[in-house]
Structure 1
Amino acid sequence: MSNHKEPASLEPMSQFDYVRIFEQGSGKNLVLSPGEYRIVGVSDAYLEATMTTREQIMGELVFDIFPDDDSDPRADVTKAIRHSLETVEMTKQPHSMPALRYPIQRPESAGGGFEERWWDITNVPVFDAAGNLMVINNHVNDITALKNSEDLNARLRSTIENINDAFFLIDTEWKAMFLNQRAEKLLDRKAADLVGKYIWDEFPEAKESDFYIQYNKAVDTQKTVRFVEYYEPLDKWLQVSAYPVSDGLAVYFRDVTDERKNQDALKLNKERFDLVTKASHDVIWDWDIVTDEVWWNDSLKEIYGYHPKDVEKDSKSWLNRIHPDDLEVVSEDIHSVLDSTQSNWELEYRFRYQSGDYATVIDRGYVLRDEHGKALRMIGSMLDVTERRIMDAKLRQAQKLEAVGHLTGGIAHDFNNLLTVILGNAELITEQLGQQSHLRDYGNMIISAAERGSELTNRLLAFARKQPLSPKAIDLPELFSDLKVLLQRTLTENVSVEITHQPGVSSIEADQVQLESALLNLVINAHDAMPNGGRLSIETCNTTLDDVYVEMFPDVKAGDYVMIAICDNGSGMNAETLAQAYEPFFTTKEVGKGSGLGLSMVYGFIKQSGGHMRIYSEPNHGTCVKLYLPPLLEIQEASSEPVQLAQPQHGKEHILVVEDDPLVRDHVVKLLESLGYRITSASSGDEAFERLAEFSSVDLLFTDIVMPGKLNGSELAVAAQNMYPNLKVIFTSGYTEETLMHQGRLNYGVHLLSKPYRRYQLADKLRSVLDYE
């Protein structure tokens, strides 16, 4: 027998023993039965980590407690665990799983929801003595803190790499510890080439600059420093922030070269802007819409009288000075632009001067918006156009009067044609009535009415500047001396008259009859404005209208004039009445007291004479009418107009009558035939020209001026006299055409018989022209 003694055999451990071992361990263990994966054991650490109790999970299938269906947020993790357990069963080997993000469900008492954890899981098989798989130990290592630390470092590095600034760390010995990619790009150096290197050796130029001074200041004071410095080797301006840290210096820096250039350009632009605003006569403004702050340039003081420092700092500095009647329109208009996508705004309105008067301004603005289209700022200029608008109004008034003049001239022309027929036939009828006095009285009444109509049309022609003038030299003191008696008879005793003449006042050249009529009209108007008496003053003097004055009145020529002023201290006129004063038929007098043609006639006569007329008037203060007429520059020779014969005579000459109005043409033909003349008639210049070729001779052409067709009266006369050089010509018209006139007077050698005319006037005109050699 051998002395060798066999060791005592150990009793095989049961499943229960293994479960007790795992449960009592300090690790996080979950003991599962193979196959169905029922929970047969669990450690306290595992229960604490999963926030469950032993009673909740013991004896349960693990995938009932931790579902692996897709509706559970832990589904991906539990599927991975199932796969690992199946692998252990199949291979009979331990299986380690990669780190997993494992959501732990909180109990409702802890607020519910899930708490994110990171687990490192290993599934280990446990066998019995026969080698059969007895249990699987699911061992969990919670690596959440380590994972979070790694994530934090990764996020920190990622953040540093992705910040907009370049960044590097310097240790206490001025060696580079770390550079992000932006620092590498900005410094044009690789991190691998710089880390561990002494920075002042790598960047020697920096040691002689503010970089060295400021970095040392940050280390010495343990306070952050910020500065901007130019680094010549890189040709860049760098904005730097250096923060002291426990193991050195953290430096953030970025390239601000473009910003620096922009700042310099902005400074230059500001200087230019300041110069432009000083040179410009416009008011420049800048409105910060977000803060409601408004900036004005110094032109606000120069033009409107407000010092920019003294006005409100917000939009009230603008709104409070807009005319009350315009405020709502302006506010609505500017906000309609601000609330839209438009960039430009422009409006004309009234803005108050410091004096209290209002200027007419054109305001323009440009809107600056953010990327969403919201209005942030508005910059603009305000232009004072008060004088321009006054000029525009005067020009419109002049154009209006010109248009009315054309209209009234045309009406007068047609009316004179009718009056010619009425007046001529009334004369013939009256002459043939013989001794029938009661019928002759009717005829004379027709003649008187026609002559009054003729006076009316002459006034219209005076306004239209279509009347023929006979200018001559007029000595004004002598003229008013002759008129004084007539003026005193016109005025009542309670109106005093004072006439003064500047010593050496120049003579003028004008139609004396028309001038006297104009002066008498103005005196009568002045008298009517002083029903209770007053003072009438008449003054004459030499004056000059300069370029500044002419700028306000575009239809006036600069130069020397003789002024005649007729002033009263009567009722005066308001602005609205004054604006219509020159218009034909406009009157403020009672019905039947005035035709409304007085001032319009004076205006037309003065303009036709090359002059200017201006009225000054204020309610309850009176009116002053100033007439400006050109001075006489040279003595004009007397006209060679043939002297008219005292008695009308008959004749036998051949006369070609050209008149487009059939009534007038038939009437003239009968008149001339009654005087013994041989008559050929035509209805147009074209027809007359054709008929001229039919005759061997024609003694006189009696033609209207305005006619249809290619040839008017003056053109026909030229063509006819080319055919018959000795042909005499008399023009007739309801008004005088510009083709026959120069500066208001008839051209030399032109004979005109204005409509309407009497039979004896026609007869005398014919003989005076035919008999003139």
Structure 2
Amino acid sequence: MRDDAAASADKQTGPASETVAASNGAAQVSRRPWLTPGVGGIGTASFFADVGHEVPTALLPSFVTTTLENALLRALKDRSTLEQSKALLAIAGRTARLGGWLADLRQGQIICSDEVCELHQVAPGHVATVHEALNFYTPDCRYQIGHAFERCAREGLPYDLEASIQTAQGQTLWVRVIGNAVRDSNGAIYQLHGSVQDITPEKMAEQKHAHLEEQFRQAQKMETIGNLAGGIAHDFNNLISVILGFANLAKEDLPASDARFADLSEVEKAAQRASELTRQLLAFSRKQMLSPRVLDLNPVLSSLERMLARLLGEDVHLSFLPGDELDRVHADPGQLEQVIVNLAVNARDAMPRGGNLTIETSNVELDDDYAWNHPEVTAGCYVLLAVRDSGEGMDRATQARIFEPFFTTKEQGKGTGLGLATVYGIVRQSGGHIEVQSEPGQGTTFKIYLPRTDRAPQTAVAHTRRAQDLRGTETVLLVEDEDQVRALVRSVLHKNGYNVLEAQNGGEAFLLCEKYQEKIELLLTDLVMPRMNGRELADRLAPLRPHMKVLYMSGYNEEEMPDTDSAFLSKPLSPDSLLSKVRHTLAS
């Protein structure tokens, strides 16, 4: 049943209805309110028919209502799908840290999406001028972005750039910026639009990877230089042994008043200075002899304070800040003293007008992040020795080379370039890590990390050297591939009563040992030889000569020693050190 208003509406016509009917050659049949269940009135429906045709108006409202309801349901479904797509797009934008922007060139304004506003740490809906938007970029990127924006606005050239921005809160981020031109129907550019994506995590990972690659290349370079330096030092040690040894032998046949005695003494002094250089090269290459023991760094440093004060002079103020309850380390105290002295001298030279030098110790823990950034470091507990000066500082290029042997920034004749190289080698050979922090004009800090040890402290045993006769009558099998060194050792041993059998290599020594029927008390062999090294030779001779003692000699360290109980003689050797070690080994 229809109410009076609906009945009245059947007879009403309106201007809009009449216009539609006239333009389509139709007659308006009925016009009535459109009511839907649960919603109520949603509009007015007009019904038309071709002119001259009779239409059953009673059925029209129901038919049209059903049709329009279906259309409405489809529209609502489409709207829901659209909203869902927008929500997914927003999720994608947040996940990818990506947003959009639109620049109205006529208004001179830039509108950004909520994601871009959040990235810049400004309120949603923030509208900025082009100049204000460019000011978000850091100064070193501002010109590049501004130039790209201008060319895009003028010529339509798109751009895709990476740049750094500074947010409204002062945070620095890396972004990828894309821009494209929009033209009107006449081809004129009136808008630019594009996207901004936060790529800070990717850039940080990229920089971290580049840093690790650089560290790896630096480690490889230092290893290569170290091997070269070690090889040179080994060869020079053989030469120095010959010079020192024969000079010493020659002096024994001369009275001290002879002018030649003084000349030979000068030869010895020069050889000893050369020996010191090779010792530093071996320290850098981590192939020098060490005598490590468990120790506390604080007493080591305390014992050096007075000497360092004299070394630094009155213009440099020395401060020592010992850490409380300092953990122990396993290192050679003499070599650690060398490290501290070398760093102090380096600091003094960096402060020609005086300054402050601070030496500090503390317990630290290097975590996995630190170890990740320093591939040669294992995470764990360390003892830190920091040496900080207020000197001239260094740029990055200098820092990259300071540990290389013979590299120096000092004037010619003022330094050998081996001081810091020696420090590097001693620290690395001690299982530690060293890093430098410096800026030009801001001073320099060297940080040395030595692994903490849980070993019990060792008590130094005082050895009283008693006078003893270094001569002997035993038979010694001498194996040395360097002819001059072999000649020196043979001469020294012969002169002091020993019977010497000599061989140039392991093969010769093995054959000689098989043929010789008498007792051989001592095998004196170079440790590093071609084809068969000293250790392999000793192992092969052991079944033939089970009671024969073994004494190794080398210009390297004890890394290749077969066991810690083996006797070892370090090159360059002197007649006294040779005879003393031979006698000690035979008597052991």
Q: Which residue of 2 aligns with 1:769?
A: 585
Residue equivalent to 1:437: 258
The residue type equivalent to 1:761 in the other structure is S
Q: SS where residue 473 of structure 2 aligns?
A: coil
Whether 2:92 is the aligned partner of 1:273: answer yes
Output the CA distance in 1 between the equivalents of 2:171 and 2:469.
67
In the TM superposition, 1:544-555 aligns within 5 A as 544-555=365-376
In 2, Cα distance between equivalents of 1:206 and 1:665: 120
Matches within 5 A, 1:616-765: 616-635=437-456, 646-647=467-468, 649-696=470-517, 697-709=519-531, 711-736=532-557, 738-740=559-561, 747-765=563-581
1:276 maps to amino acid = T
Could you tell me how far apart the structure 1 residues matched to 2:582 and 2:92 are?
78
- The Cα shift of 1:756 comes to 0.6
Which letter maps to 1:582? F
Provide closer, same or farther for how the CA distance between residues 617 and 311 of structure 1 changes in structure 2, counting only shifts above 3 A.
farther
State how 1:21-32 maps to structure 2 within 5 Å.
none
| Partner Cα distance (1:469, 1:296) in 2 | 66
The 5 A counterparts of 1:109-508 are: 209=66, 211-212=67-68, 266-267=85-86, 270=89, 273-274=92-93, 276-277=95-96, 284=98, 321=138, 323=140, 327=144, 351=164, 353=166, 382=199, 383-385=202-204, 386-434=207-255, 437-508=258-329
For 1:707-733, what per-residue CA distance to the aligned partner results, in whole angstroms no more than 9, with x for missing partners?
222x33333333333543333222222
Structure 2 counterpart SS, 1:532: coil
Structure number with greater CO (CA < 8 Å, separation at least 6) is 2
State the Cα distance separating 1:204 from its structure 2 match: 13
Q: 1:555 to 1:358 in 2, by over 3 A?
A: farther
Question: Partner letter of residue 703 of structure 1?
Answer: T
Q: Name the CA shift for 1:293/1:734 in 2 (closer, same or farther; >3 Å).
A: farther
Deviations 1:588-631 (A, max 9, x none): 22222211111121121112112222323233332222322233
Matches within 5 A, 1:73-112: none
- Deviation, 1:462, is 1.2
Provide Cα deviations, 1:623-654, integer angstroms capped at 9, x if missing partner. 22232223342225679999876446223333
User: Counterpart of 2:303 in 1: which secondary structure?
Assistant: helix
**CA 459–260 in structure 1, closer or farther in 2 if over 3 Å, else same:** same
Q: How does 1:46-57 map to 2 (within 5 A)?
A: none
Structure 2: runs of 5+ lacking an equivalent: 1-23, 30-52, 181-192
CA spacing shift, 1:503–1:646, aligned 2, 3 Å: same
Cα distance in 2 for residues equivalent to 1:460 and 1:274: 58
Change beyond 3 A, Cα 1:639–1:352: same
Shift of 1:492: 1.6
Identity %: 34
CA shift, 1:419, in A, is: 1.2
1:648–1:760 Cα contact (<8 Å) kept: no
Deviates more, 1:418-427 or 1:377-386: 377-386
Over residues 463-486 of structure 1, what are the superposed CA-to-partner deviations in whole Å (9 max), with x where a residue is unaligned? 111112111233434333322221
Match of 1:14? none
User: CA offset at residue 439 of structure 1?
Assistant: 1.2
8 A contact 2:351–2:391 mirrored in 1:
yes
> Over alpha carbons, which structure has the higher Rg?
1
- What SS does the corresponding residue of 1:581 show, helix, strand or coil? coil
Q: CA deviation at 1:750?
A: 2.6
Q: CA deviation at 1:505?
A: 2.5
Cα-to-partner distance string for 1:260-318 (whole Å, 9 max, x where unaligned) = 999688557525524532xxxxx54669999999978959967x878897697999869
Q: Does 1:590 align with 2:403?
A: no
1:734, CA displacement in angstroms? 1.8
1: distance between equivalents of 2:442 and 2:290? Answer: 35
| Alpha-carbon offset, residue 764 of structure 1 | 0.7
Aligned mates of 1:412, 1:356 — CA distance in 2: 58
Residues 542-600 of structure 1: per-residue CA shift (max 9 Å, x gap) = 22223333333222222222222222222222333223222222222222221111112
Q: May I ask how many residue pairs the two structures share in their alignment?
A: 520
Q: Per-residue CA shift, 1:668-724, capped at 9, x if unaligned? A: 333333333333333334444454443455432222233222x33333333333543
SS at match of 1:631: strand
1:755 counterpart letter in structure 2: K
Q: Give the direction of change, closer, same or farther, for the CA distance of 1:526–1:436 in structure 2 (3 Å limit).
A: same
Alignment root-mean-square deviation, CA:
4.9
* Aligned residues of 1:659 and 1:683 also touching (Cα < 8 A): yes
1:509 aligns with 2:330: yes
Deviates more, 1:472-481 or 1:591-600: 472-481
Kindly state the Cα deviation for residue 360 of structure 1 after the two structures are TM-superposed.
10
Counterparts of 1:563 and 1:446, CA distance in 2: 42
Looking at structure 1, the residues matched to 486 and 143 of structure 2 have their Cα atoms a distance apart, in angstroms, of: 60
3-state secondary structure, aligned to 1:730: strand
Cα 1:440–1:288 change in 2 (3 A) is: farther
Aligned equivalent of 1:94: none
